[in-house]
Chains A and B, each alone.
Chain A
Amino acid sequence: MKYLLLICAEESVEVSPEQADPEPWIEETERRGVRLDGHRLCPVGDATTVRAGLVTQGPFAETKEQIAGFDIIECADLDEAIEIASKHPVASFGAIEVRPFWPE
């Protein structure tokens, strides 16, 4: 099963570079062959939203937590996806939404 991990955090939250370092997580998930793709994203100030043909600056929803990155993983089931998500460094100070891909 494929899942999209939405890595969400408050942009103002301050964490040490070690705490936010995703490298060990990326290493483990790639070694296990579950991570297909992923990237950190620019802050929401750089986002543009197109809604009903109208172009506005900023994110699609004004919330405290914003999407800071994403990963696409392929796992046996939701329990494995949850395990992978809970090991992501942002899970300790932000939130990770685990969203299954639409079934083919």
Chain B
Amino acid sequence: MSDADVTRVVEEAFREEWGRVVATLIRLTGDWDLAEECAQDAFAQALARWPRDGVPRRPGAWLTTAARNRALDRFRRHTTEAARLRALASAPTGPDPEPAEEDHVPDDRLRLMFTCCHPALPLEAQVALTLRTLAGLTTAEIAAAFMVPEATMAQRLVRAKRKIRNAGIPYRVPPARLLAERTAGVLGVLYVLFTEGYSASGGPSPTRPELAAEAIRLARVLAGLMPGEPEAQGLLALMLLQDSRRAARLDEAGDIVTLESQNRAKWDHDEIEEGLRLLDDALARRRPGPYQVQAAIAACHATALDPDDTDWPQIAGLYGELVRLAPSAVVELNRAVAVAMADGPLAGLRLVEELRAAGELAGHHLLAATRADLLRRLDRTAEAAQAYEEALALAPTDAERRYLARRLAETNGT
């Protein structure tokens, strides 16, 4: 195997195993910084040794053992850590670098996810910690993804880890009485991560596919670790169904292509198929939740042969269900769009005007953009142009501004 091949294998192992190695080391040492350092060290050792010794049969077990041995070395040098050393030495990973049985060793990534997403931590810290400890992104990469200076992100991570330690945030899967609420928190963090990648909240590029890919990877892990939780599967299905449109969502100039104008041949049909299969599985458990409903909406779009084939009455009904399960002004706005498609622009505009009168979403470009669109379809050109201008002033990304400017020009031209 060439060095380049080994580098590729180590990179793959990094993506697959980083979270597991860190999660296990946190359980064994109780020290988050030490766990990260030892994991990093284990991957460096792999880069040095795998070209010489060959890639081990179980790379994950090899890496975990290497990281654990590194932690043991560190503790040996500080004899005051005697108690922790004893605990670590007797911990059930086995000193054998190729343990015969590892399947009964619990997967620590689930407890790591729950701890990273503990509600006592600020949301942005939850997201950053998840990316650092579970996905293995560097502080610089996370800072770049959220467009904050690296020092700010480093401080955010330090503070979060300090709070976990000082406030006694437990490192475990929550007990039954807390599980539903805390699971919703974990799902929420992964979805924030995905939407930030799918539709960036600011900056020159409207998408950051690498963040969306990390979110999908983590959602896949979570769905695997919580096979009894249909919402975890629902979230993964939702991400896959939305991500399937990625290649069709932007044109050559990097501008947004609306769903109705997208080239459906460019959709990723493998992702659609997997998403639909996961959704069917989840819905069969008959415990619906907001992610399953959103995935069902995405599925309506994904299975329509062309825009005219879209089952809008079904989508409007699903949004009604979503309003009931997870009420929010943004969901109401989406419902208004679906109702406009099912029952005509006037019916949709009525709902939009209700939202507007309630003062919800004031200052949000999507409210103004939706209203502009409905007014345009009703041939109320002057009002539409005014609403497009309002939306243009509020839109956060360049691509959205270009799209709205185009629509405004079209409206003024007709």
- Per the 8 Å Cβ criterion, residues 61-104 of A in contact with B are 75-79, 81-82, 98, 100, 102-103
Bound-state CA distance A3–B166 (Å) is: 10
State which of B165, B166, B168, B174 has its C-beta within 8 Å of the C-beta of A81: B168
Q: Which residues of B contact A1 (CB under 8 A)?
A: 168
Interface 0/1 of A1-18, CB less than 8 Å to B: 101000000000000000
Please indicate the chain A residues that have their CB under 8 angstroms from the CB of B120 in the complex: 78, 82
Q: Give the chain A neighbours of B174 by CB distance below 8 A.
A: 79
Q: Which residues of B contact A102 (CB under 8 A)?
A: 166
**Bound form: Cα–Cα A102–B170 in Å:** 17
Question: Measured between alpha carbons, how far is A77 from B167 in the docked complex, in Å?
Answer: 8
Distance A1 CA – B167 CA, assembled complex (angstroms): 8
Is B405 interfacial (CB 8 A cutoff)? no
Is the C-beta of B178 less than 8 angstroms from some C-beta in chain A? yes
**A79 proximity list for chain B (CB < 8 A):** 169-170, 174, 178
Contact check, B170 vs A78: say whether CB atoms are below 8 A apart: yes
Residues of A within 8 Å of B168, CB to CB, are: 1, 3, 75-78, 81, 100
The chain A residue sitting closest to B170, CB to CB, is A77
Residues of A within 8 A of B170 (CB): 76-79
A26 to B169, CA, bound (A): 24
Chain B proximity of A95: nearest CB distance (Å): 15
CB nearest to B120 among chain A residues: A78
Chain B contacts for A77, CB-based, 8 A: 168-170
Contacts of B165 in A (CB 8 A): 103
In this complex, the member of A78, A81, A82 whose beta carbon has the largest number of chain B beta carbons within 10 angstroms is A78
Give complex CA distance A59, B244 in Å.
58
Bound: A1/B169 CA distance, A = 10
The distance from the CB of B6 to the nearest CB of chain A, in whole angstroms, is 42
Cα A9 to Cα B303 in complex, Å, equals: 54
Most buried by A among B168, B169, B178: B168
Across the interface, which residues of B come within 8 angstroms of A81, CB to CB?
168
Q: Which residue of B lies closest to A103 (CB)?
A: B166
Alpha-carbon separation in the docked complex, A79 to B118 (Å): 10
Complex Cα distance, B178 from A77, in Å, reads: 14
Taking the closest CB of chain A, its distance from the CB of B181, in whole angstroms, is: 11
A78 to B174, CA, bound (A): 12
Give the Cβ gap from B38 to chain A, nearest Cβ, in Å.
Answer: 23
Set of chain B residues within 8 Å of A100, measured between Cβ atoms: 166-168
A82 to B170, CA, bound (A): 12
Complex CA–CA separation, A98 to B167 (angstroms): 9
Look across to chain B and name the residue whose beta carbon is closest to the beta carbon of A81: B168
* Assembly CA distance A104 to B165 (angstroms): 12
The contact string, 1 if C-beta is below 8 Å from chain A, for chain B 344-383, is 0000000000000000000000000000000000000000
A78 vs B120: C-alpha distance when bound (angstroms)? 9
Q: How far is the CA of A78 from the CA of B115 in the complex (A)?
A: 11
**Whole-angstrom CA separation of A77 from B169 in the bound complex:** 6
Mask: chain B, 178-192; 1 = CB below 8 Å from A; 0 = not: 100000000000000
A79 vs B166: C-alpha distance when bound (angstroms): 13
Determine how close the nearest CB of chain A comes to the CB of B265; give it in whole angstroms: 50
State in angstroms the CA–CA spacing of A102 and B162 once bound together. Answer: 12
Can you list 27 A-B pairs, Cβ within 8 angstroms, ordered by A?
A: A1-B168, A3-B168, A75-B168, A76-B168, A76-B170, A77-B168, A77-B169, A77-B170, A78-B118, A78-B120, A78-B167, A78-B168, A78-B169, A78-B170, A79-B169, A79-B170, A79-B174, A79-B178, A81-B168, A82-B120, A98-B167, A100-B166, A100-B167, A100-B168, A102-B166, A103-B165, A103-B166
- A75-B168, A78-B168, A79-B169 given; 17 more Cβ-contact pairs under 8 Å: A76-B168, A76-B170, A77-B169, A77-B170, A78-B118, A78-B120, A78-B169, A78-B170, A79-B170, A79-B174, A79-B178, A81-B168, A82-B120, A98-B167, A100-B168, A102-B166, A103-B165
- Give the 8 A-B CB pairs with smallest separation, nearest first: A77-B170, A1-B168, A77-B168, A78-B168, A100-B167, A78-B169, A78-B167, A100-B166
